[in-house]
Structure 1
Amino acid sequence: MALKVELKPGERFILGDSVITNDDQRTRLFIEGTTPILREKDILRLDQADTPCKKIYLVVQMMYLSPDPRQHHEMYFDLVKQVLEAAPSTRAYIDDVNSKILTGEMYKALKAARKLIGYEGELLGNVSSA
């Protein structure tokens, strides 16, 4: 079954190792295959990875897009260790990301990492309001 992707005018997405930009009209694409696809709303750029959990998301994103995700494992586990030491309450979120990575569900790992970022935002909000 093909993946249906609807793009807004000017919206970009990553297909494999290519960035594709839509023209000035709404477009619908049907994509078949196993090449990784990331819509613009799911892409985190390096300059946006300004918190530890966003850095974890960025590395998971790199794993998802990479032909060999193992090359990013060391960086991922270093970041996870730092986050767990600083905020042990993130363990359930990190365990969810880890389980998705271990089962090869890299897109679902990205979604789980997005939840980790949300939780980190809550923690940072609590610190700044205290």
Structure 2
Amino acid sequence: MALALTLKPNERVIINGCALVNANRRQTIYIESMADVVRGSDLLDEKAAATPATRVYFMIQTALTQVKHRETLVPLIQKDLAQLACVFGGASLSSIFKSANFISSGDFYKAMAALRPVIKHERELFERIEARKAAEAGHAETPSASHGVAAE
């Protein structure tokens, strides 16, 4: 059964490591054999891979788009996924295990997809940390208000 891939105008897609850009109108292409396919919107820029989960995602993406690096990357990806599993729990832990299983079976696109909820959770955690730091910094800047001294 062929994979029907409908591309938006000017959408980028990578098929077996070859980057393609669609023309100015919507197109559907059919991929009739097994191929590594990833849309440009699912790709992460290397500069954006700044957190543990996004770095693992970027390595998986690299394994998907650059076959020649897979043999080297797969053990590193599995090691880093194991480290993520030690940090995250709950639904994130399940997603990490799913990603690791997809890596083991060579399905790198599904491994990336399984890791997206972990990245979202990680982002939310960092946002909470930053909000807490900002709140604490706000308290530290107004000590007179907390001691009952009236501001002029």
Under a length normalisation based on structure 2, what TM-score does the superposition of the two structures give? 0.73
Mapped pair 1:107 → 2:109: yes
RMSD of the alignment, in Å?
A: 2.1
Mean CA deviation greater in 100-109 or 33-42: 100-109
In the alignment, residue 58 of structure 1 is paired with which amino acid? F
In the alignment, residue 97 of structure 1 is paired with which amino acid? S
Q: Give the distance between the partners of 1:127 and 1:104, measured in 2 at CA.
A: 35
Name the % identity.
Answer: 26
Aligned to 1:79: 80
In the alignment, residue 65 of structure 1 is paired with which amino acid? T
Shift in CA distance, 88/6, structure 1 to aligned 2, threshold 3 Å: closer
Aligned to 1:10: 10
Please give the per-residue CA displacement for 1:64-94, whole angstroms capped at 9, x wherever unaligned. 2343522102432453355456x34354332
Provide structure 1 residue ranges, at least 5 long, that are not aligned to the other structure.
none
RCO higher in 1 or 2 (8 Å CA, sep ≥ 6)? 1
Mean CA deviation greater in 72-81 or 22-31: 72-81
Under a length normalisation based on structure 1, what TM-score does the superposition of the two structures give? 0.84
Provide structure 2 residue ranges, at least 5 long, that are not aligned to the other structure.
133-152
Per-residue deviation, 1:39: 0.7
Higher CA-based Rg = 2
In the alignment, residue 2 of structure 2 is paired with which amino acid? A
Aligned to 1:98: 100
User: What aligned pairs does 1:1-130 form with structure 2 within 5 A after superposition?
Assistant: 1-67=1-67, 69-80=70-81, 83-84=84-85, 87-89=87-89, 90-130=92-132
